[in-house]
């Protein structure tokens, strides 16, 4: 069923519902205030906000995607790690070996700022990143606001049948991992492009050791991203994970 949020009297930007895949998509590029205008539709319709690149370039094939419920995120990451690490120089994986190190511990609380922590709540962190992406001239340039029928934001890639990581894994597994990051780090999917994905992170790792553990997951999730300018997982963790309020990924 296609939901038309335009019919609900909400203060949405001008936009158009689409049938396959089912989504509502703004007619014009996002502005810093777009995310706040989309949020009321989440409660009214159950549709989740996201900033999308041009729909025609996103390789959306929902009929070809499985269900994230069928995939355990730890097993997904372990399998992806094994595939990539098999051919990797062990020194680059330090302090780990070719054996999967397991999931990083959660850095919560993820529902808001905890005692002695500077974390924001997940929704506030998502709104902040959305405002930054809306004005970006580089990463995900020209994104538009969209609303997607999904139980949670992490499920958006699977709901859309997003093919941006098709050379590495499928959208259902991407969503399974994003669910786990939502639970452990207060992550929220904010932006999606043809081969790009970015999430806000309300509770990022605050120590290098924790950041390196998360970097191992990033490597399994998107190896190209880690080796783009970094010689080791530790270097990547220090620059792209430690205290970072957003994580971004691209697949070659």
Q: How many domains does the chain have?
A: 1
Please report whether residue 222 resides in a domain.
yes
10 Å CB burial of residue 115 (0-12, 13-18, 19+) is exposed
List all residues 6 or more positions away from 83 whose beta carbon is below 8 Å from its beta carbon: none
Please report whether residue 38 resides in a domain.
no
Please report whether residue 5 resides in a domain.
no
Please report whether residue 234 resides in a domain.
yes
List the pLDDT tens digit at each of the 252 positions of the chain: 567 787 778 889 999 999 888 999 999 999 999 999 999 988 888 899 999 998 888 889 888 888 999 999 999 999 999 999 988 888 889 899 999 999 999 986 554 444 344 557 999 999 999 999 998 877 788 899 999 999 999 999 999 999 999 889 999 999 999 999 999 999 999 999 999 999 999 999 999 999 999 999 999 999 988 888 898 899 999 999 999 999 999 998
Q: Report the residue count for the chain.
A: 252
Stated pTM of the model: 0.92
Please report whether residue 172 resides in a domain.
yes
Return the SS3 of 74: helix
Domain that holds residue 176: 63-250
Please report whether residue 4 resides in a domain.
no
């Amino acid at each position: 069923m296609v939901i038309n949020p335009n019919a609900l009297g909400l203060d949405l930007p001008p936009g158009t519902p689409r049938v396959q895949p089912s989504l509502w998509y703004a007619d014009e590029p996002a502005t810093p205030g777009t995310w706040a205008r989309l949020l009321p539709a989440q409660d009214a319709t159950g549709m989740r906000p996201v900033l999308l690149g041009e729909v025609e370039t996103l390789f959306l094939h929902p009929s070809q995607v499985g269900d994230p419920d069928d995939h355990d995120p730890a097993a997904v990451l372990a399998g992806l790690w094994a595939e990539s690490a098999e051919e990797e120089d062990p020194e680059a994986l330090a302090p780990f070996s070719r054996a999967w190190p397991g999931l990083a511990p959660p850095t919560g609380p993820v529902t808001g700022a905890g005692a002695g922590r500077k974390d924001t709540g997940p929704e506030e962190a998502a709104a902040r990143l959305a405002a930054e992406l809306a004005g970006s001239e580089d990463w995900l340039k020209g994104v538009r606001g969209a609303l997607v029928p999904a139980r949670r934001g992490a499920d958006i890639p699977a709901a859309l049948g997003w093919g941006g990581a098709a050379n590495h894994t499928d959208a259902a597994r991407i969503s399974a991992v994003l669910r786990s990051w939502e639970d452990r780090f207060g992550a929220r999917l904010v932006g999606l492009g043809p081969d790009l994905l970015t999430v806000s992170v309300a509770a990022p790792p605050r120590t290098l050791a924790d950041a390196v553990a998360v970097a191992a997951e990033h490597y399994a999730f998107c190896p190209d991203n880690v080796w783009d300018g970094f010689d080791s997982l530790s270097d990547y963790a220090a620059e792209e994970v430690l205290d970072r309020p957003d994580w971004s990924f691209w697949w070659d």
